[in-house]
Amino acid sequence: MLAQQKNMLLKNLGCSQVLLAFVAIVLPSLESHTMGCPARCECNAQQRSVVCHRRRMQNVPEGIPTETKILDLSKNLLGSIRQARFASFSELEFLELNENLISNIEPGAFSKLPFLQSLSLRSNRLKLIQLGVFSSLSNLTSLDISENKIVILLDYMFEDLKRLERLEVGDNDLVYISRHAFSGLHSLRELTLEHCNLTAVPTEAFHSLHNLVTLRLRHLNIASVPPLAFRHLPKLRELELSHWTSLEGLLPRSFQSLNLTSLSLTHTNLTAVPHDALRPLINLRVLNLSSNPITIIESRTFSLLSHLQEIHLSGALLCNIEAHAFHGLKKLKVINFARNQLQTLEQNAFEVPGSIQVLRLDGNPLACDCRLLWILQHHQKMSFEEKPPICSTPAHTRGMSFRDLSDKLLHNHFMCQKPHITVKKQRHQVAIEGQLVFLQCHADGDPAPSISWISPWKQRITYKSTGRMTLLQDGTLQIRYAQIVDSGSYVCIASNAGGNDTHRSILTVKRFPSQSLTFNNGTLMYMANDYNGTDPKSIDGLMSGEYDIMTVLVAIAIGCFTFLGVVLVCLLILFLWSRSRGKKKPNIHVEFVPQNLETTTTGDTQRPVTRQISMRMI
């Protein structure tokens, strides 16, 4: 083969050109032969790499060139690493020992590797890493010890890794991280802890990581984040708390002292946006709350996060976004609400709707009416990321993609019907102090209008209002224990995207009347003396006005029988107690001298006469 190539070159090239071509063909093979390569391994002389994965090797193979920079021994059967095992490869920069059976690494195993930059021990059987294993690795920048069986991180185990920037410790059996475990990692910028048995945030262990920028804490059984949990991380910018299934809420000071630009709280049991915990994060740019059972975004929830640019809340239970929910977010560009229960997203939720560049609403049961018309009018400036929203209702738009609707059809399909309150006449209702009062208001419209009430003192009453006045789901205003001050004019407001309608009701609350009982033809009558001549039975049926005489007599008889029964029981108890003392009763004899002394004379001596009283105990 070489002879043929040489003859062809001689015919077409000069002597000097033949020499150059010959060198270019033969030299790489000579260099590979000079470098050498272990059996069953693949070597690249130009990159100085040796790849020996999936060769079922139980030991580091012989014949590895000393000038090797990249050594890959992954997916073999290596069981342990002896001291200074790689010392002869002083130029080594990348060492891969993933997916072996390594259960023991002797201290100093990686000594004399001054240029080593990356070391990967992922997916082995390590239970403990002894002190000194990573000694002399002064230039190491990346270390992966994930997917092992490590139970504890000892104090100062990474102390010699002064330039380490990335550390992976996930998928271990970690139950405890010592206070000084990360001591010496002054250059660490990225740390991942996942699939561990930690039950609390290792706050004290973070005290040495002053330059940490990214922290990922995934798949942990931690139920709470205490105040100032990350106080030792002044340069932290990206924080991810993912798959904390026991986390149901966050305390107001959980992220205090942090200056984050990206926060991810996904796959937890948060049922509401933790706005109190988010307040200190005034420089936050990206917020991800996906895969949480959050159902509502309330008005002005993010008002203090003025630099927020992206909000991700996909795969949740979101069904309501209130008006002004995103007010204060003038830089908002990306919104991802895919796979929720939203029927609409109104324009009044945003302060600057035109700033939105990416909008994801796919996977929602959208009601395509005038509330979504603003999206279609701006869809040329807005990206759906190849997943445009699809209409679910009304029937004539079901299954339509937003991209399939032309401008001419918008106003024909996306329409709203203004609310109409069914009862229009003014209603005057009279109640007695302490009575339960209902003021009704029902309205029709498309979409279904929301109901609110305005009280006589100009207070708006909504479904969230608390106190004696409550708005029921059907729009009825319920007033418990009516008082005189509740009298006045109440205005019902029915509103939707098509407009609003109002209805006025007047309530008069009168004082509870003084009462007297009289008999009329054998019937006990309840009379109101100070109700200005008004028949008590006309006030919403509060007073019946009559009581049956038999009912009164029966009530009195029951009371008398009850009293007599109690007396008899008491007498019976006293009798039984007295009989329990036995037949023999102690007698008491008392002798006394009366005040008017009587004397007897016995000879020359006078004595006072004494009297005696005998008593018998019963």
Residue tagged 């984040």 (tokens)? 225
**Model pLDDT, residue 587:** 61
In-domain check, residue 360: no
Q: What total number of domains does the chain contain? A: 3
- The β-bridge relationship of strands 42-44 and 49-51 is antiparallel
Confidence of residue 354 (pLDDT cuts 50, 70, 90): confident
Say if 141 falls within a structural domain.
no
Query: What DSSP state is assigned to residue 586?
Result: -
Spatial separation of the C-alpha atoms in residues 335 and 322, rounded to whole Å: 15
> What are the beta bridge partners of residue 547?
524
488 in any annotated domain: yes
The Cα 31–Cα 47 span in angstroms is: 12
* Residue 26 domain-assigned (yes or no): yes
Segment 116-132 shows an average pLDDT of 94
Instruction: Give the pLDDT confidence score for residue 30 in this predicted structure.
Output: 35
Instruction: Indicate the pTM of the whole model.
Output: 0.70
How far apart are alpha carbons 245 and 239 in whole angstroms?
17
> Does 428 reside within a domain?
yes
- Which of 111-115, 310-314, 494-498, 539-543 has the weakest average pLDDT? 539-543
Between 558 and 17, name the one with better pLDDT.
558
pLDDT band at 529 (very low <50, low <70, confident <90, very high): very low
Which whole-number Å values give the CA distances from 23 to 4, 27, 34, 94, in the listed order?
16, 5, 15, 31
Comparing 443 with 416, the larger pLDDT belongs to 443
Give the model's confidence band at 556: pLDDT under 50 very low, under 70 low, under 90 confident, else very high: confident
Q: pLDDT digit string (tens) for 309-346?
A: 999 999 999 999 998 999 999 999 999 999 999 999 99
* Cα(308)–Cα(326) distance, integer angstroms: 10
Residue at a domain's end among 485, 510, 535: 510
What's the confidence (pLDDT) of residue 533?
A: 38
* pLDDT of 295 strictly over 70: yes
Average pLDDT over residues 341-357: 92
DSSP 8-state assignment for residue 529: S
Q: Is the pLDDT of residue 248 over 60?
A: yes
- pLDDT > 70 fraction of the chain, expressed in percent and rounded: 80
Q: Are 397 and 444 in contact (CB under 8 A)?
A: no
Of 466, 493, 510, which closes a domain? 510
545: pLDDT confidence band, cut at 50, 70 and 90?
very low
Q: Which residues contact 430 (CB under 8 A, 6 or more apart)?
A: 507, 508, 510, 539, 540
Instruction: With H, G, I as helix, E, B as strand and everything else as coil, classify residue 565.
Output: helix
pLDDT value of residue 539: 40
- Asked if residue 467 is part of any domain, the answer here is yes
What is the spatial distance between Cα 596 and Cα 593, in angstroms, rounded to a whole number? 8
The domain that holds 505 is classified in CATH as 2.60.40.10
Residue 28 host element (H or E): helix 15-35
pLDDT band at 605 (very low <50, low <70, confident <90, very high): low
Residue 27 belongs to some domain of the structure: yes
Distance CA 448, CA 417 (A): 9
Nearest to 126 by CA among 134, 118, 138: 134
Residue 535 lies in a domain: no
The mean pLDDT of 17-41, rounded to a whole number, is 50
Q: According to the model, what pLDDT value does residue 32 have? A: 39
Residues near 175 by Cβ (< 8 Å), separated by ≥ 6? 151, 152, 196, 197, 198
Half-sphere exposure of 515 (CA within 13 A, CB side): 11
pLDDT digits (tens, 9 = 90+) for 406-417: 665 666 667 788
- The mean pLDDT value for 123-145 works out to 93
Q: What is the pLDDT of residue 425?
A: 67
Q: Choose the final residue of a domain: 510, 527, 544.
A: 510
Q: Which domain holds residue 29?
A: 1-34
Residues in the chain: 618
CA 149: distance to chain centroid? 30
Average pLDDT score over residue span 157-166: 94
Is the pLDDT assigned to residue 74 strictly greater than 60?
yes
C-alpha 448/C-alpha 473 separation (Å) is 12
What is d(CA 476, CA 344) in angstroms, rounded to the nearest whole number?
Answer: 25
How does pLDDT run across 257-277, given as a tens digit for each residue?
A: 999 999 999 999 999 999 999
Residue scoring higher pLDDT (319 or 398): 319
- Determine how many CB atoms are found less than 10 A away from the CB of residue 87: 15
| pLDDT bracket for residue 65 (50, 70, 90) | very high
**Measured CA angle at 180 (ends 177, 181), to 5 deg:** 50
pLDDT above 50 for 542: no
Q: What is the mean pLDDT of the chain?
A: 83
Is the pLDDT higher at 239 or at 84?
Answer: 239
Residue 559 C-alpha from the chain's centroid: 58
